[in-house]
């Protein structure tokens, strides 16, 4: 099976030296890539620039992204040829409305940044999927479990994914994750605190054999 995996955070620049990002380390996506390669799948890893991706395995094809726009381009180049997409990257929800091509001087005093939503990459990719392609989404949610699961189900339907891996915010940059996996029919992997490598093997298991 040809599996396309994304990992790590996007960066949206404010000016040439400053940017908005998130706390993702990319560890989860890297673990999924290693698990997929170890199971004999053909793996392509789209990863955040600057990530140490040596743990993914020598046979894994790699390409780096910085911004949401970069990742969109890579997804549209690679999605058609894959059998499954595991969207583990932490895609930023916002970008600055007005990028400054020059470094904003500190001496200028307080500044106000207007943030606008970024494009929903997974929904866009899923809209063009062919029959048989499988998609696993990721969601980071907080709050009571019933509310978290309800929000994740909504995201599953809106994005057109087959499964969604639901994480707590504390999982970002951590070695383990409090997570569950949902399908349109309900929970298929119950909540549990698992090392990310173990969770990665569970995720690959849902994609089936090579």
Cα 107 to the chain's mean position, in Å? 37
State residue 64 phi and psi, 5-degree precision. Answer: -105, 150
pLDDT at 208: 77
Compute the distance between CA of residue 137 and CA of residue 27 in angstroms, rounded to an integer: 16
Positive or negative: CA dihedral 59, 9, 140, 191: positive
> Using one digit for the tens of pLDDT, what is the confidence trace for 133-184?
999 999 998 899 999 999 999 989 888 899 999 999 988 888 999 999 999 9
Reply yes or no on whether the pLDDT at 209 is more than 70: no
- Average pLDDT over all residues of the chain: 94
Give the pair of three-digit tokens for residue 50: 């600057």
**Nearest CA among 105, 74, 112 for reference residue 91:** 74
Which residues are CB-contacts of 8 (< 8 A; sequence separation ≥ 6)?
24, 25, 26, 29, 47, 48, 51, 89, 90
Pairing of strands 163-167, 134-140: parallel
Cβ neighbours for 170, distance < 8 A, ≥ 6 positions apart: 178
Integer angstrom CA distances of residue 198 from 16, 47, 94, 156: 39, 20, 31, 23
Mean pLDDT of the 70-83 span: 97
- What single DSSP character describes residue 23? S
- Quickly state the pLDDT bin for 210 (edges 50, 70, 90): very low
Sign of the alpha-carbon torsion through 43, 32, 22, 144: positive
Complete domains list, the chain, with CATH: 2-207 (3.40.50.10300)
76 contact partners, CB below 8 Å, separation of at least 6:
125
Q: 94, exposed or middle or buried, with CB in 10 Å at 0-12, 13-18, 19+?
A: middle
pLDDT reported for residue 57: 85
Give the per-residue pLDDT at 178.
93
Model confidence pTM above 0.85: yes
């Amino acid at each position: 099976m040809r599996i396309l995996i994304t990992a790590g955070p996007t960066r949206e620049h404010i000016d040439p030296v400053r940017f908005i990002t998130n706390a993702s380390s990319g560890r989860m996506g890297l673990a999924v890539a290693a698990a997929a390669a170890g199971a004999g799948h053909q793996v392509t890893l789209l990863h955040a620039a600057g990530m140490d991706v040596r743990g993914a395995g020598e046979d894994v094809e790699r390409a780096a992204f910085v911004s949401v726009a970069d990742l969109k381009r890579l997804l549209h180049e690679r999605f058609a040829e894959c059998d499954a997409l595991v969207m583990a990257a932490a895609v930023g929800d916002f970008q600055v409305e007005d990028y400054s091509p020059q470094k904003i001087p500190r001496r200028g005093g307080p500044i106000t940044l207007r943030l606008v939503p970024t494009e929903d990459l997974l929904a866009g990719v899923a809209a063009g999927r062919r029959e048989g392609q499988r998609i696993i989404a990721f969601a980071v949610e907080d709050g009571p479990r019933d509310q978290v699961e309800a929000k994740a189900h909504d995201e599953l339907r809106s994005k057109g994914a087959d499964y969604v891996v639901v994480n707590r915010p504390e999982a970002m940059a951590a070695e383990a994750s409090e997570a569950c996996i949902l399908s349109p029919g309900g929970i298929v992997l119950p909540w549990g605190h698992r090392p990310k490598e173990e969770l990665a093997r569970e995720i690959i298991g849902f994609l089936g054999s090579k």
